[in-house]
Amino acid sequence: MANVLPSQDFQNSDIQSGQGGAGSEAGVGGRGGDIASHNTTNIENIYHVVIVTQAQTDYVIKEQNLKGTMVEVEKLLSRIKEDPEPHLEPPLKVEPLTKVFTIYTGVDQATKKLKRSTDLVLTLTPAASDPERPWATIVWKVLHFEKLSAMKSQVTWSAEAGFCVLQEEDDGTLTPGPLRMPAKPGHATILREVEEGSTTESYLDSEVKIKDTTDDIAIANTTDTPQRLALCTIDPKKHEADRFSPVANISLFGRSGPEDQSGKFALQCGPPVLLQVYAFNGYKERQPFQNDDGKAKPIFTKNLSTVRSGVSFRLYSKPSGHITLE
């Protein structure tokens, strides 16, 4: 049903349209007076339109102010039969923050050439980390650079984060399984189970609010079985099947909050914004990064939330042979 309330008072005058049991209704109305006697059909007014559309058993309500004459508004409403929302503006789509940066090598300066071919291993973690519980990072990207050459690689990072259930492939890489969900700031993503006949299905739910006033995200496993999940960064520009890139391995035992006795989430953190770059050969993307002892030191660390999009960093060898990125 669509009700139109003009800024002046009019006698009720209804027009109706619909399609079977699911569709929309449209009406133009008001109070007091008579449309014909007041000759209001050509008077321009501001009308408040409330559109209620029905799809099966769900109702969707949209509101918008329209400016025009009664005739013009009636024409718009008469089109609801073909299009329940012919006049509504499309919802504003807010794209997540995305930044692009470049890593390059050059031969234009003798003191800033790359002297040996190198792979750069890029990892991402939340900005804040617990030294007692280091992140079990997963390789985000691997970039290869040939020695004594001019090369460049562009990297796109999105501030949008998510969680997924991991699958381990035969080659040891970790890929997102079918259970995956974007994380909502200030909310927890919960792995739950529901019985479907004789089987039990798992699903992810992100409608649980974190108690603290925060933009953190959280993950918990309320099923009875241990699960291997991952914190992911999401690239909205990639194909849907490839948007989730796991960057941190999270192993959660069954009943790991928030419905356990502690009432706490198994893991609460910020989005993966801390870039760490290592000069290592032999790694590939989505492979667990082996640095449990912390001996591997990054040659470059940067909080991407503070980096200007379009910035470039040069990769080269110092006289000592140490590889540097700056």
Three-class secondary structure of residue 180 per DSSP: strand
Residue 39 pLDDT greater than 60, yes or no: no
134 pLDDT band, cuts 50/70/90, is confident
Instruction: Note the maximum CA span of the chain.
Output: 94
Q: Residue 37 and residue 215: Cα distance in Å, rounded?
A: 58
Three-class secondary structure of residue 316 per DSSP: strand
The candidate with the shortest Cα–Cα distance to 299, out of 278, 275, 274, 273, is 278
Q: Between the CA of residue 18 and those of 6, 79, 220, what are the distances in Å? A: 23, 10, 45
The encoded tokens of residue 176 equal 């997102």
Q: What is the pTM of this model?
A: 0.69
In the chain, % helix, strand, coil (3-state, to 5) comes to: 10, 45, 45
263-297 residue pLDDT tens:
467 788 999 999 999 999 999 999 999 886 767 89
136-177 residue pLDDT tens:
999 999 999 999 999 999 999 999 999 999 999 999 999 999
The encoded tokens of residue 177 equal 């399984």
The candidate with the shortest Cα–Cα distance to 72, out of 105, 99, 40, 100, is 40
CB 147 within 8 A of CB 114: yes
DSSP state of 88: S
20-33 residue pLDDT tens:
334 444 444 333 33
Amino acid at 8: Q
CB 99 within 8 A of CB 154: no
Amino acid at 5: L
46: left (phi over 0), alpha (psi -120 to 50) or beta: beta
Q: Residue 228 and residue 167: Cα distance in Å, rounded?
A: 8
Q: Residue 235 and residue 97: Cα distance in Å, rounded?
A: 10
Mean pLDDT of all residues in 199-224? 82
Residue 55 pLDDT greater than 50, yes or no: no
Q: Residue 120 and residue 134: Cα distance in Å, rounded?
A: 21
CB 264 within 8 A of CB 102: no
Neighbouring C-alpha atoms within 13 Å toward the C-beta of 121:
21
Per-residue pLDDT, 152: 97
Residue 78 pLDDT greater than 70, yes or no: no
The candidate with the shortest Cα–Cα distance to 38, out of 3, 13, 66, is 13
